[in-house]
Amino acid sequence: MLVGLTGRYASGKTTVLQWFASRGVRTMSCSDSIRRWLSVEGIEESRESLIEGGRELRRRGGAGILAEMLLDEVSGDDAVID
């Protein structure tokens, strides 16, 4: 089962994600996809590079690219994604 969390900035998504993680559920964030891409590209991680990296990935792969990258990684496991 996959559960996706959505909400505005500071709406509690991370708190809910931590609750699931404390109970042994695999958790992932769309920013994980950006972090992996930055690493592959040799770009130092910062708030600005995460924002720009996300924009670039969406420009190249469309609005759903970050979720698609996570789905490729999950491959049938239970997970909660924010």
3-state secondary structure 26-45: CEECHHHHHHHHHHHHCCCC
Structure tokens at 76: 């049938």
Structure tokens at 70: 């996570």
pLDDT > 90? residue 30:
no
Q: Determine the pLDDT at residue 77.
A: 80
Which of 1, 62, 65 shows the shortest CA–CA distance to 30?
A: 65
| pTM score of the predicted model | 0.75
Contacts of 16 (CB under 8 A, 6+ apart): 5, 80, 82
Q: Report phi then psi at 78, rounded to 5.
A: -75, 140
**In sequence order, what E strands does 1-82 have?**
2-4, 27-28, 79-81
Q: Where are the domains of the chain?
A: 2-81
CATH superfamily name and code, 2-81: P-loop containing nucleotide triphosphate hydrolases (3.40.50.300)
Residue 67 — very low, low, confident or very high, per pLDDT cuts 50/70/90?
confident
